Amino acid sequence: MINKIASSLSEAVAPITDGSSVMITGFGDSGLPRELIDALIEQGASDLTIISNNAGTERVGLARLLELGRVRKIVCSYPKSSGSVVFTELYRAGRIELELVPQGTLLERMRAAGAGLGPFFTPTGYGTTIADGKEQRVVDGKGYVLEQPLAADFALVKAYHADRWGNLTYRLAARGFGPVMCMAAKTTIAQVDDIVPLGSIAPEAVVTPGIFVSRVVRKDAQNGRS
């Protein structure tokens, strides 16, 4: 029997080890898997590479993980949202590595990794400093930059409903990075508002099929210590 349900948030994030690369969904506060991030903070893994659109705000969640010195490198498109105080401090002090990637390129690099594609040409960033050190080619008069697929060891994803096979739905624009990150990570861990019986999500309403998901956990599943 396939059963991907983890009984607690701490159990869900247990396999993350020092040095892991971790994708985290979210666009600002929308789609952020807050409970899984808090579980990761408690879990203790360090020397992490975080792949996420933003770099956290205030001193909670992802920003807290940064502040605790647990993140070696962040791959993101927009680390300068208002309230990104921790990232700003660390970056200016030279204590965190930043790989800045245009948002569409970030998404497509992950999608390529999940879809089994190799490097691809995109017009985004052609002729800019983002293209430095990368192959650039003009095809039919239009310039393109060669970009590499981007995979990760783990993805922490905020979804809405799941069943025990890991089929997922998302709520409103919290969908965001979810479907792509689920594909691009070796191990995808999704937190959900509710776990529903197998078959109760209509097949055509499944947004991310369980084949891309390793673990699901209710966002309020007791965060017991292991």
Partner 1 sequence: MAAAKKLSRDRVAQLTAQDIAAGSYINIGLGIPTLVPKYLDPKKEVVLHSENGILGLEGLQPGLPGDEDLINASKQHVQLILGASIVDQSLSFAMMRGGHLDATILGAFQVAMNGDIASWSTGAKDDIPGIGGAMDLVAGSRRVVVVMEHLARGGAPKLMKACSYPLTGLGVVTNIYTDMAIIDVDPARGFVVRGIAEGLSREELQAATDAPLLYADDVAVLTEH
**Site of interaction with partner 1 (CB under 8 A):** 27-31, 77-81, 84, 87-88, 91-92, 100-105, 107-108, 110-111, 122-130, 143, 171-180, 207
Q: What is the distance between the alpha carbons of residues 73 and 71, in angstroms, rounded to a whole number?
A: 6
Q: What are phi and psi of 37, to 5 degrees?
A: -65, -45
Query: Smallest gap, in angstroms, from Cβ of residue 143 to partner 1?
Result: 7
Measured CA to CA, the distance from residue 159 to residue 162 in angstroms comes to: 8
Which residue's CB is nearer to partner 1, number 44 or number 104? Answer: 104
Pairing of strands 142-147, 136-139: antiparallel
In the bound state with partner 1, the residue whose beta carbon lies nearer, of 26 and 163, is 26
Shortest distance in whole angstroms from residue 137 CB to partner 1: 15
Measure the CA–CA gap between 215 and 217, rounded to whole angstroms.
Answer: 7
Nearest distance from C-beta of residue 121 to partner 1, angstroms: 12
**Smallest distance from the beta carbon of 99 to partner 1, in angstroms?**
11
In the bound state with partner 1, the residue whose beta carbon lies nearer, of 94 and 118, is 94
Please report the DSSP string for 132-189 in residue order: TTS-EEEETTEEEEEE----EEEEEEE-SEE-TT--B---GGGGTTHHHHHHHEEEEE
Q: Which is nearer to partner 1, 1 or 173 (CB)?
A: 173
Identify which of 92, 98, 40 has the alpha carbon closest to the alpha carbon of residue 68: 40
- Burial of 222 from C-beta contacts in 10 A (0-12 / 13-18 / 19+): exposed
CB nearer to partner 1: give 45 or 183: 183
